[in-house]
Amino acid sequence: MKHFDLAIIGTGSGNAIPEELNDASIALIEAGRFGGTCLNVGCIPTKMYVYPADVIEDAKAAHELGVDLSYHGVDLPLLQDRIFGRRIDVIAEGGERYRKDECPNITVFSDMARFTGDKTIEVAGEHITADQIIVAAGSRPQIPDLVTDSGVPYYTNEDIMRIERLPKRLLILGSGYIATEFAHVFSALGSKVMVTGRSDVLIKHQDRDVAVRFTRAARERWDVRLGQETTGLTKDGDTITLTFADGSTATGDALLVATGRIPNGDRLNLAAAGIDTHGDGRIKVDQHGRTSAAGVWALGDVSSPYQLKHVANHEARVVFHNVTHPEKLRSFRHDALPAAIFTHPQIASVGMSEQEARDAGYDIAVATQNFGDVAYGWAMEDHVGFSKIIADKKTGLILGAHLMGHQSAILIQSLIQAMALGTTAKQMAEDQLWIHPSLSEVIENCLLGLEL
């Protein structure tokens, strides 16, 4: 039985091993592609699809500016080769090769890990032990019983980007982040897209104003079916049919299931190591990343309620520090937590929604500002973008911010910084100069509109 100073399960954020551990013996375990979700099937390759989709949508809208542009179609094999052949797969393979061949203190196990006892793991036919263990095993797509029971073939985010040909009609089961990003991508590339969900709006976990406005904009581009259950799924020849509770149907030649992701802890036999979990399967951790089992830590999607790469990276920095400096523990910081959805129009958020702030008992001020009401928005002929800021009337601090529109993920960063540093809305608006006529004036005017 091999013994290590540290065992790490997962090579996404778990692979961010600091130089302080160069002299430690480390077991690095990965059941899937080296590099984890973000690199291989998530954040990075999806945005390499999103950017061309954005370019296409800009071209389609150029006529409003008096410019004649046209879209003639996509060379899908060339697009995929740029993403995977020249970038993603090269990085994943190179990362694995580096850990195997150039890190003498690290032993890579390319198989599923399974706990068999206290700090004991079975992997690749061996049993190994470690003084400390970090579980960073990530998550996987959640597939509804309706889909698995039907026998109808389907894609998830983990394989649709390698699809062999562009679907003529793509059915998307789901209405959240993944669903709306891929709806944007495939509709821009030329597929007719149908999106369905049980809620009355798309991206229901966003601030209500954002969800309502986005759903309205989405209906102009996609076939959006909301507010009812999907009750049937069949395939006849090349045609896939979804049936809804009201008896209506939608047909397509490909199905994408984007109904959420579930943590991979259920595959690790956690109970054998005394590792407790939440009801949804996430590993329970304290503010330092410690599990209920001494010497075992967890981070990222396998334990965090925030399935975001930047959160997993932050948690990895905290956990690796705590592993190497147990006398000086650091804590996770999950306040001023930002996120973005790279759909069209783009969406970004940080902090509380308006309803969450009211439910928390704050006396709030709320302001909105349309992109089209500032000079650069006029130049863009923007008709959908807007910003919304929620602030505490008592302290003047920003409680939450929500943007929908061009480059929202960039625009929101100044608000994230203000929240992280405790800058008041008044200070942010008045104690600096805002470039005119940049799109950032959307933020300035929104801050000035708060009645504090």
Domains and CATH numbers, the chain: 2-41+82-140+262-324 (3.50.50.60), 144-258 (3.50.50.60), 338-449 (3.30.390.30)
Query: Looking at the whole model, is its pTM more than 0.95?
Result: yes
Nearest to 10 by CA among 157, 135, 141, 140: 135
Alpha carbons within 13 A on the beta-carbon side of 276: 10
Tell me: is residue 179 an annotated ligand-binding position.
yes
Residue partners of 13: CB distance under 8 A and separation at least 6? 36, 136, 299, 300, 309, 312, 313, 315, 316
Check residue 169 and give its pLDDT: 98
Alpha carbons within 13 A on the beta-carbon side of 29: 28
What amino acid positions are annotated as catalytic residues? 436
Check residue 204 and give its pLDDT: 97
Tell me: is residue 181 an annotated ligand-binding position.
yes
Identity of the amino acid at 113: A
Nearest to 293 by CA among 301, 302, 285, 282: 285
Check residue 306 and give its pLDDT: 95
Q: Is residue 424 within 8 Å of residue 389, measured between CB atoms?
A: no
Q: Distance (Å, rounded) from C-alpha 447 to C-alpha 403?
A: 13
CA of residue 150 relative to chain centroid, distance: 28
Tell me: is residue 176 an annotated ligand-binding position.
yes
Provide the Cα torsion 318, 322, 328, 332; round to 10°: 30
CA distances from 433 to 122, 428, 429 (A): 59, 10, 8
Q: Could you check whether the bond before residue 305 is cis, i.e. omega within 30 degrees of 0?
A: no
> What's the token pair of residue 247?
């008896």
CA distances from 287 to 260, 291, 304, 379 (A): 25, 10, 11, 47
Q: Is residue 197 within 8 Å of residue 175, measured between CB atoms?
A: yes
Check residue 228 and give its pLDDT: 93
Q: Distance (Å, rounded) from C-alpha 167 to C-alpha 20?
A: 49
Tell me: is residue 174 an annotated ligand-binding position.
yes
Tell me: is residue 47 an annotated ligand-binding position.
yes
CA distances from 49 to 128, 162, 307 (A): 40, 11, 20
Check residue 304 and give its pLDDT: 97
Check residue 406 and give its pLDDT: 97
What is the three-class DSSP state of 214? Answer: helix
Tell me: is residue 281 an annotated ligand-binding position.
no
Question: Low-confidence residues of the chain, pLDDT below 50?
Answer: none
Residue 95 host element (H or E)? helix 89-101
Check residue 123 and give its pLDDT: 98
Q: 177-189 and 43-61 are packed helices; what angle lies between their axes, rounded to 10 degrees?
A: 50
Q: Distance (Å, rounded) from C-alpha 299 to C-alpha 128?
A: 21
Identity of the amino acid at 20: E
Q: Is residue 428 within 8 Å of residue 395, measured between CB atoms?
A: no
